[in-house]
Amino acid sequence: MKSNLLPPHAVYVRSTGSTLRMQLHILFGFVLGFLMALCTLLLYNCYQIETVTHRQQITATEYWQTGYMMAMQDVATEAETLQPLNTKVRVLCMVLTSPDQHASHARHVKATWGKRCTRLIFLSSQVDEKLGAVSVVEREADTYDDLWNKTREGFRYVYERYYDDYDWFVKADDDTYMVMENLRYMLYAYYPQTPIYFGYQLIRYGVPYMSGGAAYVLSKEALRRFMTMAFHNTTLCPRARKFGIEDFNMGICLQNVGVHLADARFALGTDNKPKFIPIDLHTYMSTDNTTEISDWLLSMSPHRVESGLNCCSNYSIAFHYTNPWGMYLYEYLIYHLRAFGVSHHTRSLPAKLPLEEVIRLFPSNYSADDKPVVDLGARNLADEM
């Protein structure tokens, strides 16, 4: 009977090939395990980032709404003029947006300055009840090229439903930030029965009008005249068509029905600096050579465009090209930040201006029995708008 045991002095030698295969297997297993762990970590990290971003977007509105209410309680105790302004200057804010911008832009307007409007309405091509958006155009017509049509339909919607309930009607974009207290302070001096609209004045083809990006404000009477006298009259008001220049066309329509164009820089006796800002504030404030004020603004503004701290009124109202987080920055700086010992509150409201003073400040060539102030045919503008 043979024994399978090796002799005591025998030595077992493992083949070199077998050892190498085992080492490769171990190395492969280690690399595979490392890669799987790395992929898992990266995927989890991406998931965490997306989750945090989504959670930030969801909670931003609630957080800033709470902060706004707390800040306004402080302001209300310090400024007794706020209450009459809120009740006597009723402002409907009409903000243009689109379905793609509901979550990324419009919701942040609602969370910040939009809360201070007497009523806030978003004009879109898709109804969004939570946001407060209504559909005034078809989805395929909701483009920048169709902005004039959308604005017309927006004013029609507002006029038919809310005309009797409000005194002033703001048209703004979803990348514009507005200081509603300053707007009400300026408007308090004017009667809503006066045909007037305010904004940042520009000039195109020799015709003055108010910048749409910087926002503009129609009085109750201005809106009535636009809807009842200009809306359906293609002699007085450019027709609804693609590629219409929205703010320019609105300026023509309003001037042709006797609405006074009020450059807001002259609307308060306290200063004569712009209050509706058509470009981002950073551009105005920049002192380096990499950021310059656009040529179009320099050429179309009837007054000198200043930069730095002299650029804008201390009672500025609207700032264009404001991204969502910039809106929260404004919220913090205006309503939360306090400099100890510094008080800027106005002690009294401006005096009411009679119509004669309005005409002196903002003269108009309108005459109901005369030809239009801006003759579309004579200026060869009818086919360009």
* Structural domain includes residue 285: no
What is the per-residue burial (b if ≥16 Cβ within 10 Å, else e) of 60-82?
beeebeebbeebeeeeeeebebb
Domain residue limits at 252: 80-279+313-361
* Structural domain includes residue 212: yes
Give the pLDDT band (50/70/90) at residue 54. Answer: very low
Given a cut of 70, is residue 209 above it in pLDDT?
yes
- Give Cα separations from 26 to 14, 21, 30, 34 (angstroms): 17, 9, 6, 12
Q: Which of 22-36, 72-86, 143-157, 346-360 has the highest mean pLDDT?
A: 143-157
Cβ contacts of 272 within 8 Å, gap of 6 or more: 265, 266
Number of domains in the chain: 1
Higher-confidence residue: 286 or 203? Answer: 203
CATH number, domain containing residue 235: 3.90.550
Region 359-363: mean pLDDT is: 93
Look at residue 152 in the predicted model and tell me its pLDDT.
Answer: 94
What is the per-residue burial (b if ≥16 Cβ within 10 Å, else e) of 264-277?
bbbbbeeeebbbbb
Q: Phi and psi dihedrals of 12, rounded to 5?
A: -85, 125
Q: What is the phi-psi region of residue 167: left when phi exceeds 0, alpha when psi lies from -120 to 50, beta otherwise?
A: alpha
Look at residue 78 in the predicted model and tell me its pLDDT.
Answer: 44
Region 197-223: mean pLDDT is: 96
List the beta bridge partners of residue 94: 121, 171
Look at residue 19 in the predicted model and tell me its pLDDT.
Answer: 73
Look at residue 151 in the predicted model and tell me its pLDDT.
Answer: 95
- Give Cα separations from 284 to 208, 287, 297 (angstroms): 23, 8, 12
* Structural domain includes residue 126: yes
* Structural domain includes residue 46: no
Residue found under tokens 């309930």: 165
- Give Cα separations from 365 to 54, 210, 356, 368 (angstroms): 54, 17, 15, 10
pLDDT, one tens digit per residue, over 22-34 is: 777 777 777 777 7
Query: Per this entry, what is the length of the chain?
Result: 385
> How many separate helices (H) and strands (E) can be counted in the chain?
11, 12
Look at residue 368 in the predicted model and tell me its pLDDT.
Answer: 78
| Run of H or E residues at 209 | strand 207-210
Residue 100 contacts residue 118 (beta carbons within 8 Å): no
Which SS3 state, helix, strand or coil, does residue 312 take? coil
* Structural domain includes residue 251: yes
CA-closest candidate to residue 177, choices 298, 328, 46, 29: 328
Region 95-117: mean pLDDT is: 95
CA-closest candidate to residue 95, choices 115, 68, 72, 65: 115
* Structural domain includes residue 133: yes
The encoded tokens of residue 219 equal: 């009085």
* Structural domain includes residue 308: no
Look at residue 9 in the predicted model and tell me its pLDDT.
Answer: 55
Lowest mean pLDDT among 155-164, 255-264, 281-290: 281-290
Region 180-197: mean pLDDT is: 96
Lowest mean pLDDT among 45-49, 220-224, 244-248: 45-49
Which SS3 state, helix, strand or coil, does residue 369 take? coil
Give the pLDDT band (50/70/90) at residue 256. Answer: very high
Which SS3 state, helix, strand or coil, does residue 222 take? helix
Average pLDDT of the chain is 83
Give the pLDDT band (50/70/90) at residue 53. Answer: very low
* Structural domain includes residue 222: yes
Look at residue 159 in the predicted model and tell me its pLDDT.
Answer: 97
Give the pLDDT band (50/70/90) at residue 196. Answer: very high
Higher-confidence residue: 144 or 224? Answer: 224
pLDDT, one tens digit per residue, over 70-90 is: 544 444 444 455 667 888 999
